[in-house]
Amino acid sequence: MSSASDAALPNTSELLHHRLLRILELTQKLALPHDLSGMLEQVLEAGLDVLQAESGSLWLYDASNNVINMRLPVLASPISVSVGQGLVGECLATNKVINVPDCYADPRFNSAVDKGTGFRTRSLLSVPLVGADEAHIGVLQLLNKRGGAFDEADERIAVTLAAQSAVALQRAQSVVAMLAKQRQDEEIALARDVQMSTLPEELPAVRDYDFAVGFVPADFTGGDLYDLVEIDGEVFILVGDATGHGIAPALSATQMQAMFRVAFRLGASLDQAYIHVNNQMVEDLQDNKFLTAFIGFLNHESHTLRYHSAGQGPLVHYRAAANQCDFHPPTSFPVGVMEIDEVGPPREILLNQGDIFAVISDGVFEYENAAGEQFGERRLAELIQAFKGHSMDELRGAIIDALAEFAQGADQLDDITIVVMRRAPDPERQDGAGPAMIMKLNCARNIAELERIVAATHAFCEEHGVVNEIWPDVDFAIEELFVNMVKYNKDTVSEIEISMTTVPGGVSVTLIDHNVDRFDPRERAPVDVTLPAAQRNPGGLGVFLTLKLVDSFSYDYHDRTSTITFSKCREARDV
Amino acid sequence: MFEIESPVAGQVLMRGRLDAVQAPKAEAFLDAVKGEIVIDLSGLEYISSAGLGVLLRKHKQLSTTGGALQVVKVTPHIGDIFKYSGFDRLFKIEKA
């Protein structure tokens, strides 16, 4: 423990003079640049000297944990007390000096420290260190005044000393905190640079498709990422968001992106890559961390987008034919939550001409304005509808502008990531022609419904000038798919929904079957049309021919609902 | 609308749409026709896999006695369906 070297001074005015000089000297010293622990030593030393104490201690308040830690003397096992606990705790809590002339007579005195050190405390003076704005800084405690107990004059001088010290300590503490923050910011900025350097510099150039990406990181926070790259003739799309802020999420996001790229370059399937990357992230991430991820492939020949979306949603599909936005939920829980051995089939969406698909981070949907209102889905849907005829670059810009206008000055708290893609619209319809026509039909699960289906679809095609040459192929596909649904799902009574939409040069047809098991017609064994008659049977022929006759075909299974969409246009058949 | 008839022995006429709803009717009719037949498809607008199944069944029946089905006056669309399904390898198909 520190102890004062000077003996008690005889004369009162000399003593006062000495004390004031010593406080001035301390003030001067504390004004010099010091490290915090050096300053603490100065304060305690001056306290012992000015108040003629044999020993003393210095305590600092830790606001984040709401405890008071003894900083001097430095003990092998650090001592902390709660605010309000013991003499130190009470002194800090009340901001009042506590003068105890006989410690062992005061029940608030804790003799445990004496027992540990062998020091015997007689008298005690606890002085609160109070900073600007009445901020708690700590407590200076002085023990055993030479030649008696601490008196009122001591209390007054102690308060003066404490006031000078507290302001200097407060300033030093904020410098320390600022430096730590600055160092952390620099590290985060560095991590962000690493992350940004892995984002694609150029977007894939693919016939019929227009892509745009927007990435607006929040200041030194967030862990969003995206990737958009052509792999083996398809466009790989990744949008991810790691939980938390700072270096760790930025690195997790980058790690995930790198793993996916390598997996796909090595020829892994979408399902395999998803399972393995997820399981690796489970191993690597802390228990309370995870990432959301949209992982998809766009096939620009078949115009299908198939994806897994681990906690990333809503996903937006603008259907040009209906001039409407569909919001799709994630397909699964986030990456890194728990290990998985298998995964359901990817979702599959058919992009018709003029359709837009958008993967947008929650930094957009959950952007809060000054009134505490969120940007939400409706505003986004309206923007997409308003910009359906513009380039995706313009749509991206419009979303970012709309967010800024919506915010009304509210800070951006999360990264903003926008990946938008549009299949080229029909050039004939770019003059602002209205939306395509739609027909919907609900059918009982009975083959006899075919007559009604044919009557309705033909009337629709007639009315909207769909070229006659494709009618038989469309009829064929609808009949085969409808009959399959009726035949293979006998346990359900739900109606089968059939809708037909005009698309340039033809139609797009969707069949929706509820409450059924999964059945992707494309997974049926192909029919060998070269076999002799004795080995042929009609099974499977319908689906086989349907896939040959239509231009595009997609199957999606979700919530026990099968959705099949195909399109047929007047172009020559591909046989 | 689907119609099937045999105006003279050995000849069958089909008209209209041979889909899953009409296939049982066509099948019963052809089962009842004995001996070699030539089916005239000039009036057939549409055939689905159910209709193809009916023709395959008749061809198999005829094959057991060394015979074969013959279809004539096939329109381009129906001809394509026969080609994609490999039926042009099984029995004689004559285009319109």
Q: pLDDT for A16-70, tens place per residue? A: 778 888 887 887 777 776 678 888 888 899 899 989 999 999 999 998 889 999 9
Question: Regarding predicted confidence, which is higher, B3 or A207?
Answer: B3
Please tell me the predicted confidence (pLDDT) of residue A574: 41
CA distance A23 to A18: 9
Note whether A476 contacts B: Cβ–Cβ < 8 A. Answer: yes
Chain B contact set for A529 (CB, 8 A): 84-86, 89
Provide the percentage of residues in chain A whose pLDDT is more than 70: 94
Contacts of B19 in chain A (CB under 8 A): 450, 454, 475, 479
Query: The complex's ipTM?
Result: 0.93
Q: Does the beta carbon of A266 lie under 8 angstroms from any beta carbon of chain B?
A: no
Which of these, A142, A158, A166, lies nearest to A61 by C-alpha position? A166
Q: What is the mean pLDDT of chain A?
A: 86
For residues A26 and A164, is the Cβ–Cβ distance under 8 A?
yes
Is B53 at the interface with chain A, CB within 8 A?
A: yes
More confident position, A421 or A362: A421
Query: Residue A11: pLDDT above 70?
Result: no
Is the pLDDT at A496 greater than 70? The verdict is yes
Q: Which of A448, A476, A537 sits opposite B48 (nearest CB)?
A: A476
Mean of pLDDT values over A406-430: 83
Cis preceding-peptide flag for A314 (omega within 30 of 0) = yes
Order of strands, sheet of A561-569, starting from the edge strand that comes earlier in the sequence: A438-443, A496-503, A506-513, A561-569, A552-558
- Cβ–Cβ gap B56/A529 under 8 Å: no
Pick the residue of B17, B18, B19 with the most A CBs within 10 A to test the interface with A by mutation.
B19
Q: Is the pLDDT of residue A246 over 70?
A: no
Average pLDDT for A242-264:
82
Q: Do A312 and A241 touch, CB atoms closer than 8 A?
A: yes
Q: Is A536 on the interface with B (CB under 8 A)?
A: yes
Measured between its terminal Cα atoms, the distance across chain A in Å is 95
Which among A447, A548, A573 has CB closest to B20?
A447
Q: CA A435 → CA A355, A429, B66, distances in Å?
A: 12, 9, 58
CB proximity A542 to B under 8 Å: yes
How far is it, in rounded angstroms, from Cα A280 to Cα A264? 15
How many Cα neighbours within 13 Å face the side chain of B36? 6
Summary count for chain A: helices (H), strands (E): 13, 21
Q: State whether A538 and B90 contact (CB < 8 Å).
A: no
Structure tokens at A121: 């405390």
Q: Best mutation site among A470, A536, A548 for testing chain B: the one with the most B CBs within 10 Å?
A: A536
Residue A16 or B86, more confident? B86
Q: DSSP assignment of A189-256, as one string?
A: HHHHHHHHHTS-SS----TTEEEEEEEE--TT---EEEEEEEETTEEEEEEEEESSSSHHHHHHHHHH
3-state helix, strand, coil in chain A (%, to 5): 40, 25, 35
- Residue B12: count of CB within 10 angstroms of its CB: 20
Residues of A in contact with B46 (CB under 8 A): 472, 475-476
- Condensed to tens digits (0 to 9), the pLDDT of residues B20-76 reads 999 999 999 999 998 889 999 999 999 999 999 999 999 999 988 888 899 999 998
C-alpha separations of A492 from A142, A238, A454, A565 in Å: 85, 37, 23, 21
User: Which of B54, B56, B85, B87 has the most A C-beta neighbours within 10 Å, making it the best mutation to test the interface with A?
Assistant: B85
